[in-house]
Amino acid sequence: MTKIYNDLYQFTNYIEPINLSLHQYLLLSAEPALIHTGTIQQAEKLVPQIKELLGDKKLKYIFVSHFEADECGGLFLLVSEFPGVTTICSEVTARQLFGFGIMHNILIKKPGDKLSGKDYNFEFIGYPSEVHLWEGLLLRETNRNIFFSSDLMFQMGKYHAEVIERSWEDAVANCGIEFIPNKEMQDKLLNNLKSINPKFVATGHGVCIKL
Q: Which is nearer to Fe ion, 141 or 151 (CB)?
A: 151
Other Cβ atoms less than 10 A from the Cβ of 16: the count is: 7
| Residue 183, C-beta contacts closer than 8 angstroms, at least 6 positions apart | none
Q: Which is nearer to Fe ion, 70 or 123 (CB)?
A: 70
Out of 43, 204, 207, 209, which residue is the one contacting Fe ion (CB under 5 A)?
Answer: 204
Give me the least distance between CB of 30 and Fe ion, in Å please. 28
* Closest residue to bound Fe ion by CB: 68
Q: Which is nearer to Fe ion, 29 or 38 (CB)?
A: 38
d(CA 8, CA 80): 23
Give the largest Cα separation in the chain, rounded: 47
Sign of CA dihedral 141, 146, 149, 150: negative
Q: Which among 13, 14, 102 has a CA at the least distance from the CA of 64?
A: 102
Q: Which is nearer to Fe ion, 128 or 204 (CB)?
A: 204
| Residue 17, C-beta contacts closer than 8 angstroms, at least 6 positions apart | none
Q: Which is nearer to Fe ion, 70 or 141 (CB)?
A: 70
Give me the least distance between CB of 57 and Fe ion, in Å please. 26
- Check residue 68 for interaction with Fe ion (CB under 5 A): yes
Length of the chain: 211
Give me the least distance between CB of 65 and Fe ion, in Å please. 7
Give me the least distance between CB of 114 and Fe ion, in Å please. 24
- Helix spans in the chain (H): 40-54, 69-72, 75-81, 91-99, 168-173, 183-194
The window from 76-84, 95-103, 116-124, 197-205 that contacts Fe ion (CB under 5 A) reads 197-205
Give me the least distance between CB of 81 and Fe ion, in Å please. 22
Torsion over CA of 149, 155, 160 and 165, rounded to 10 degrees? -70
Give strand ranges (E) for 46-190: 61-63, 86-89, 106-108, 114-116, 121-129, 134-141, 146-150, 163-165
- Check residue 70 for interaction with Fe ion (CB under 5 A): yes
Q: Under rule CB under 5 A, which residues in 133-162 are in contact with Fe ion? A: 151
Q: Which is nearer to Fe ion, 22 or 106 (CB)?
A: 22
The window from 70-78, 91-99, 115-123, 186-194 that contacts Fe ion (CB under 5 A) reads 70-78
Give me the least distance between CB of 90 and Fe ion, in Å please. 13
Instruction: Enumerate binding residues for Fe ion (CB under 5 A).
Output: 68, 70, 151, 204
